[in-house]
Chain A
Amino acid sequence: MSDLMKQSPLGTYVEHLKKGELAYQVNKDTNKPFFYPRAIAPETGSANIEWRVSKGLGTVYTTTAVHYKGEAPLNVAMIDMDEGYRLMSRVEGIDAMDVKIGLRVKVKVIPGDEKTLPFPVFTPAGDAK
């Protein structure tokens, strides 16, 4: 069992992001990846969990363009990572409406500051397999 007195799942995730890495967990009993980070593996409750660093490549599963007043439309998307888990993020570097389902993307970490934690976003990956 992970020791929550010493380290939290989010804390470990953030430590990886600070190094420019997108990390995720795998249930070693079943070899199933999962996200978001947890203290136990979902479905089995196993504590036999391994942290892994993602290769950072994924595909847009679905997408929306959020219209805030006085701002350019903001992309929000769900990304299916090649390792087999999904997370919410956004695709940057192209117009929000040009983010299409099936688009291949690669991760980029937005560094945090005193107020906000670092978080991963994505950019188009070209033909990256």
Chain B
Amino acid sequence: MSLLKRGSIAVVGAAESDLGQVAPHTTPVDLMAQATMRALDDCGLTLKDVDGLFVAATQVRMGPMALAEYLGIKPKVFDGTQIGGSSFMSHVAHAQLAIQMGACEVAVIAYGSTQRSVSRAAASPREFNPYETPYRPILPISAYAMAAARHFHQYGTTREHLAEVAVAARKWALMNPKAWEKEPLTIEQALNARMVSYPFTVRDCCLVVDGGGAIVLTSAARAKTLKKKPVYVLGFGETLSHANISSMPDFTVTGAAISGPQAFKMAGVTQKDVKMLSLYDAFTITPILFLEDLGFVPKGEGGRFVANGGIAPGGKLAVNTSGGGLSYCHPGMYGLLVMIESIRQVRGECGERQVKGCDVSLSHGNGGVMSSQCTVIFGSENTL
């Protein structure tokens, strides 16, 4: 999207809703509204300031309407783009266009899910597909498992490499007070956990928890007048490669190979400038694929890169410092929370897990079965 201008908007507020297991009868829109107010409090704005609303969820078919009604606001700009877990990165670009063009001034992007309370099957019912459903894959798990199997075959990646991703996420999570998982995890425990869809055990799969989040965006000029240090949107890229896993062209190459270069080009930075990455880790194979496709390691080397704590605290690269979807939080569509950690790292708010000198961070979102891929690069004031 070449109309987007580097640094034209900034994230000024960011917050999670309550996470984990919420009270009975809590609705996804309750969580969206709670997160929205927390994100507004974070920057000192109020509901009256919000004139752009961006919502996607699996349990709420018409998200912008539902949240606008709940909040009692009439946004001038609204968008419910639904491309799975990366929807919210796409919303950032749509909000950026709207703000640049003057269609709105303050945009809220919000999400909520009660999938732990109501069950994943109830929260995200799958569409019947006559060419896939008869074979009873556990979707989306089996789709990612088949990508991992192909990566093993072509590049010698192993189950131990996958376990490294799970263990690294757990180590980061133990430094995040908001993380769902509180106990250490070893490689052996990950390998010996209950098998779900080979080569994935339950430890290769993201959490199933309730939760949500919201971020507030406004123009760079207005951002400077607010409470927190602005986190500028430096770069963005996105692509759709398929919807159903049967139509994925090459199971070892994701659309991140397209969205990444777009985002880097717009941002005018290189991989070396990026101090921290949030890579949507719905499954342990995805950070490996995204490290490769975003150009941080050569194709096929992702497994060997994550070995020996490569992406754990103190490793070669700070990846998923929140603990990720594997150990921090995964309320169904996790992309908004992927960005919140990257935003906090640029702000310097991450306490024990803070990456030093984090002026540039990257968030990569994944939706469907590796179907939609969106990359956002964030930067501090020093990068303008």
Contacts and interface: CB of A to CB of B under 8 A. Distances in A.
Interface stretch (A25-33, A46-54, A63-71): A63-71
A62 B137 CA distance: 13
A76 B144 CA distance: 12
Contact of A76 (B135, B196, B251): B135
Given A76-B136, A89-B135, A117-B130, A66 B142 contact: yes
Interface string A65-89: 1111000011011100000001111
A73 B147 CA distance: 18
A90 B135 contact: yes
Contacts of A116: 134
Contacts of A66: 136-138, 142, 196-198
Contacts of A97: 198
Interface residues of B, number: 25
Given A78-B246, A87-B246, A101-B149, A62 B132 contact: no
B146 A63 contact: yes
A88 B131 contact: yes
Nearest to A77: B146
Interface in B333-352: none
Max chain A C-beta neighbours (<10 A), residue from B137, B149, B194, B247: B149
Given A64-B145, A88-B137, A101-B149, A73 B131 contact: no
Given A64-B198, A88-B245, A119 B149 contact: no
A67 B149 contact: no
Contacts of A96: 198
B149 A88 contact: no
Given A67-B195, A76-B136, A62 B246 contact: no
A35 B246 CA distance: 9
Interface in A1-51: 10, 35-36
Contacts of B153: 62, 101-102
Contacts of A102: 153
Contact of A64 (B132, B194, B197): B197
A86 B137 CA distance: 16
A78 B142 CA distance: 11
Contacts of B299: none
Interface SS of chain A: helix, strand, loop or mixed? strand
Contacts, number: 79
B198 A74 contact: no
Interface string B174-199: 00000000000000000000111111
B150 interface: yes
B195 to A, nearest CB: 5
A64 B246 contact: no
B251 A62 contact: yes
Given A66-B138, A66-B142, A76-B135, A61 B150 contact: yes
Interface string B116-157: 000000000000001110111110001001110110010000
A125 B150 CA distance: 21
A119 B146 contact: no
B245 A64 contact: no
Contact of B149 (A63, A110, A117): A63
A86 B250 CA distance: 11
B188 to A, nearest CB: 19
Contact of A73 (B130, B198, B245, B246): B198
A74 B141 CA distance: 14
A32 B153 CA distance: 27
B251 to A, nearest CB: 6
Nearest to A78: B146
A69 B233 CA distance: 46
B130 A10 contact: yes
Max chain B C-beta neighbours (<10 A), residue from A10, A74, A110: A74
B134 A119 contact: yes
Given A62-B149, A90-B135, 8 more contacts: A62-B251, A65-B195, A65-B197, A66-B197, A67-B195, A88-B132, A89-B135, A101-B149
Interface of A: 10, 35-36, 61-68, 73-74, 76-78, 86-90, 96-97, 101-102, 110, 116-117, 119
6 A-B pairs closest in CB distance: A62-B150, A65-B198, A64-B145, A119-B134, A62-B146, A101-B153
19 contacts: A62-B149, A62-B150, A62-B251, A63-B146, A63-B149, A64-B197, A66-B142, A66-B196, A66-B198, A67-B195, A67-B196, A78-B251, A88-B131, A88-B132, A90-B135, A96-B198, A101-B149, A102-B153, A119-B135
